[in-house]
Chain A
Amino acid sequence: MPNKSGVLEQNAPNANFVMEGKSLYNRRAKPVDVVLKLLINGAAFLCVVVLVGILGYILVNGLGYVSWKFLSTPYSETKANLKGILPMIINTMYIVVITLLIAAPIGICSAIYLTQYAKQGRLVKAIRFTTEILSGIPSILFGLFGYTVFCILFRLQISILAGCLTMTLCILPTIVRTTEESLISVPSSYKEGAFALGAGKLRVILGIVLPCAMPGVLTAVILAMGRIVGESAALLFTSGLAYQMPKGFFQQIFSSGRTLTLHLYQTAREATTPDAMNIAFATASVLLILVFLLNRLAGLLSKTLQKGTE
């Protein structure tokens, strides 16, 4: 038997390799381990330092300049007493609200169709694939597309509406995918229960499935809000850089208006005096706080979502 010979070899006194003594009482760290552990901790430390560095640098320089006056005054490049960011805040709100008004229904309805109606065949797979691909496309390409299609082809000019339509394309894939995931995670027993009571499909979807998936859908919407607030490249050519105060509620939709991000971009690039730099810092601080509040909100929501499914 072949394994017999193996055993015979094993019986020989020569062990596989030399052990340094038999005693277990020989505790010491391997140098390579120590170095690698240091590197691991160092990397994590570095991440925290980078974050604290960026946050600290911007907030320390900017928060002092943020005041109610700063938030509530219009902006002018020439007049020294008009250096507020009110128009940018309004424009940002316009873009966030209108974009969500367009994108959320389309995205949610698409997700409902894909998960509840469409036959789970090749088509749905293809759709999923394309949305995945789309979510990787850089925003500058969306900007390019939005500029030529919405601003020029559809004659919207450089306007907030054109910016909103462009942002709709940007965030649609994310909304569709996140909503899809939360719709799929609704236990099918809920649906079956409702069907068993004789409810129609639409009623089951609107009354049972969608409410159950609501925290997930809301998280998607809030993440999208964060994305819109932080977006700049897609809006540079579509919603433009104008900073006038709105002349009318609807008129503003069709005129150009810069968001907070673009305001930061523009003031930072053109700043020559320390005062101008302060405006940039303060804008950056406001932007950071806004984005973090949104992220926090999304985090809280997804936590309640997890609790719900447990």
Chain B
Amino acid sequence: MDRTMDGQEGREREKRRNAAYRWIAAGLGAVMILSFFLPYITFVFRGLTYTVSGIQLAFVKGFWVVGPQQSGLVTIPLAVRASIVLGLLCAVGGFVLILLKKPVTAGLLFLLSGISPLLVMAASGAIQTAVTSLNVSQIELQFLWPFFCTLLGGLISSVLALRTQGTERLAESVFQVFACVSIGSVILLTVYIISAGLPAILQIGLTQFLLGESWRPASDIFGILPMILSSIVGTIGAIVLGVPVGILTAVFLSETASPRLAMLVRPAVELLAGIPSVIYGFFGMLVVVPVIRNMFPEHTIGDSLLAVILILAIMILPTIVSVTETSLRAVPAAYREASLALGATQTETIFKVTLPAAKSGILAGVILGVGRAIGETMAVIMVAGNVANMPTLLGTVRLLTTGIAMEMSYASGLHREALFAIGLVLFVFIMIVNLLFNYISKKGVQIHAE
């Protein structure tokens, strides 16, 4: 057979190929090490250019900036130094290990080293901020080719190193890296939101921030109680209006409707779920707000908490309907049969047996709806009026989400940090909602498993 004939020869060829890959990877590793000693970044500052190598960036203290009013030492951020040292060490480690024929670890180290320029890039933003804060002039950073050498060399050499272990191993590693990217971004997002939001809260004071009743960024007064309360009241209102309608619609779809009518209503609910939130806002702005204005002409301009509640109630409908319908369908037919066989009518069966049996699923749907309502931004911003008042039904309100969206484009300093802090508060709310959802939907599963 061909295979056995080729086997010996094929293995030989593979060996030679792997050796070649190893040497190329080692060569690239050497280039990467070298690139840290070559011109790495150029600072363009008042028309002058300063070029530093990576290794300089890691060990110089900083540079003096002499400005018209202030002068100061702009230190190189620790994160920049750390990234460069890490990148260099990883490159060296990878180089040594690939020569010692440990390709898997070497590949990983090469990859880390290849990522280090990105970390440097991210961390060096602080230099720019520091220079700008001395009010001198803008400083531009230009990254030179050795910088990109490290980046590309890292990626290529890690792939080559792993390739020597066979395609299977390489593929697994690639999949693994992508999975790490997904998970890493989640973790990064969480860490970031917390770390960006905390400083302002600490500076303003937790109670002052959360319980302060006025929001006046111009005078450095940052109290978000009105926004928190408006968000909560708006969400509760949407739940009070949306949940009954949603549950009854789900009952209609899963219990009482003829298949033909269900075929009409179900797509309608699905379409509601697909409408972009800006369009809800647009509709609210042009229809709901004027209607409210005309109903209570003396009391409101139309943009109001009531408008927010109405729009949010419509927006959470599809979520409630689909989750409730799913959990109603999961209720065993035996319960319905037992109830009907006792002489209960269909409606009695639905309200006394089927709905109670599906209650944990329905609750999970409601919580999902809460999450959606509390996080909604663009629809709400168009109907809320956006003044940070304490919530009244017909008054204008500002919610947590709209608070961020309204001012993000021009805020700076503590004001901007305070907006991040609002983001953190929103994040905490969502986390609580999500954890509740998780807890309840798991409990629901257990009940059905019994």
* A132-B434, A202-B168 known; A43 vs B182 contact (CB < 8 Å): no
Query: A237, B347: Cβ atoms under 8 Å?
Result: no
CA distance A53 to B275 in the complex (A): 13
CA distance A173 to B189 in the complex (A): 13
Query: B426, A118: Cβ atoms under 8 Å?
Result: no
Query: A39, B248: Cβ atoms under 8 Å?
Result: yes
Query: B420, A109: Cβ atoms under 8 Å?
Result: no
A153 at the interface (CB under 8 A from B): yes
Interface residues of B, CB < 8 Å — how many?
90
Report chain A residues within 8 Å CB of B426: 138, 140-141
* CB of A19, distance to nearest CB on chain B (Å): 11
Which A residues, 210 to 247, have Cβ-Cβ distances below 8 Å to chain B?
226, 229-233, 236-237
CA distance A134 to B405 in the complex (A): 20
**B8-16, B80-88, B106-114, B282-290 - interface stretch:** B282-290
A207 at the interface (CB under 8 A from B): no
Report chain B residues within 8 Å CB of A129: 438
* CB of B19, distance to nearest CB on chain A (Å): 22
Cβ 8 A contact of A47, one of B168, B244, B245, B433:
B245
Cβ 8 A contact of A155, one of B125, B167, B270, B427:
B125
Query: A106, B375: Cβ atoms under 8 Å?
Result: no
* A109-B174, A280-B282 known; A230 vs B277 contact (CB < 8 Å): yes
* A44-B257, A154-B122, A287-B279 known; A110 vs B178 contact (CB < 8 Å): yes
Report chain A residues within 8 Å CB of B268: 47-48, 51-52
Report chain B residues within 8 Å CB of A262: 278
CA distance A131 to B187 in the complex (A): 10
A208 at the interface (CB under 8 A from B): no
* CB of A38, distance to nearest CB on chain B (Å): 10
B276 at the interface (CB under 8 A from A): yes
A169 at the interface (CB under 8 A from B): yes
* A40-B251, A136-B371 known; A291 vs B282 contact (CB < 8 Å): no
Report chain A residues within 8 Å CB of B347: 30, 32-33, 36-37, 40
B345 at the interface (CB under 8 A from A): yes
Query: A237, B275: Cβ atoms under 8 Å?
Result: no
Query: B274, A137: Cβ atoms under 8 Å?
Result: no
B192 at the interface (CB under 8 A from A): yes
Which DSSP category, helix, strand, loop or mixed, fits chain A's interface?
helix
Query: B423, A144: Cβ atoms under 8 Å?
Result: yes
Query: B279, A58: Cβ atoms under 8 Å?
Result: yes
**A8-16, A67-75, A81-89, A264-272 - interface stretch:** A264-272
Q: For residue A117, which residue of chain B has the nearest CB?
A: B172
A292 at the interface (CB under 8 A from B): yes
Query: B287, A30: Cβ atoms under 8 Å?
Result: no
Query: B256, A40: Cβ atoms under 8 Å?
Result: yes
Query: A113, B283: Cβ atoms under 8 Å?
Result: no
Q: Which residues of B contact A (CB under 8 A)?
A: 118, 121-122, 125, 141, 167-168, 171-172, 174-176, 178-179, 181-183, 185-189, 192-193, 196, 244-249, 251-253, 256-257, 261, 264-265, 268-272, 274-283, 285-287, 314, 317, 321, 345-348, 350-351, 368, 371, 374-378, 382, 401, 404-405, 408-409, 419-420, 423, 426-427, 430-431, 433-434, 437-438
Task: Provide a sorted-by-A list of 30 A–B residue pairs whose CB atoms are within 8 angstroms.
Answer: A30-B345, A39-B248, A41-B256, A43-B248, A46-B249, A47-B265, A54-B280, A105-B178, A106-B181, A109-B175, A110-B178, A113-B178, A117-B176, A132-B438, A133-B431, A138-B426, A141-B423, A144-B423, A149-B192, A154-B122, A201-B168, A226-B274, A229-B276, A236-B405, A236-B408, A268-B285, A288-B279, A291-B274, A295-B270, A295-B274
